[in-house]
Amino acid sequence: APQEQEGPRRHVTLDQRALTVARAAKGFMPDDEGLALHRAGQAAAALGPLLEIGSYCGKSAVYLGTAARAAGTVLFTVDHHHGSEENQAGWEHHDPEVVDPRTGRMDTLPFLRRTLEDAGLEADVIAVVGDSPTVARHWATRVGLLFIDGGHAEDVAMADYESWSPFVLPGGLLAIHDVFEDAADGGQAPFHVWQRAVADGFTAGATTGSLRVLHRP
């Protein structure tokens, strides 16, 4: 099984240009969690491509995409780009800059494309634009790592887990973002997904902030 790499050489595949772009991109991933995600990607990319649910503006895709590139594979990143419930106007995580003035709806796809272009990752990160469970119903590619960071409503997060977790290769990794064990710290759906994954036989691994990595035996 792949080990998450520690020590001074751990960042060598995340070049300064990409790191600067990741840090500047709009999104919801602190740098220490992004670097932990990058290390998980490094550990898993030898097995197969990486897959992210929830691209938003591409911040986490840079941490994962650089790991995929270094191993000669790719990151697929899935999003319908119209935002989760919690990203809509009036909610805590709303950013009016990502609203398309033509429709009044969120559209983060142009921001994702800019982030990937600025990071030099256009050849290594493949944007899949669509509803996550719908894409999953037509998907066939097994992956080295699955990162779940889409909608955080209970039914949405669990649907992502149920739709995509069967594609994680034996020995591969499952990463879940925004896992808060205490309801005072945040929504519980990602924690419930983590508990479900453990019940299904994934082995709990490293925790960095709200990022939890599990191993598929």
Dihedral of CA atoms 80, 85, 86, 90 in degrees, nearest 10, equals: 120
Site residues for ligand SAH, 142-161, by CB under 6 A, read 149-151, 156
Q: CA 97: distance to chain centroid? A: 22
Regarding 100 and contact with ligand SAH (CB under 6 A), the answer is no
Cα–Cα dist 8/23, whole Å: 20
60 binds, among Mg ion, ligand SAH, none (CB under 5 to 8 A by kind): ligand SAH
76 binds, among Mg ion, ligand SAH, none (CB under 5 to 8 A by kind): none
Q: What angle do CA 43, 48, 50 make, to 5 degrees?
A: 75
**152 in active site:** yes
List the catalytic residue out of 152, 177, 192, 215.
152
Residues 55-74: x/- map of binding to ligand SAH (CB under 6 A)?
Answer: -x--xx--------------
Any alpha helices (H) in the chain, and if so which ranges?
A: 16-24, 31-44, 59-70, 109-119, 132-137, 154-164, 189-199
Options 177, 212, 215, 216; binder of Mg ion; rule CB under 5 A: 177
Cα–Cα dist 63/191, whole Å: 22
What is the contact surface with Mg ion in residues (CB under 5 A)? 28, 149, 177-178
Please give the positions annotated as active site: 152
What is the contact surface with ligand SAH in residues (CB under 6 A)? 27-29, 54, 56, 59-60, 78-84, 87, 108, 131-132, 149-151, 156
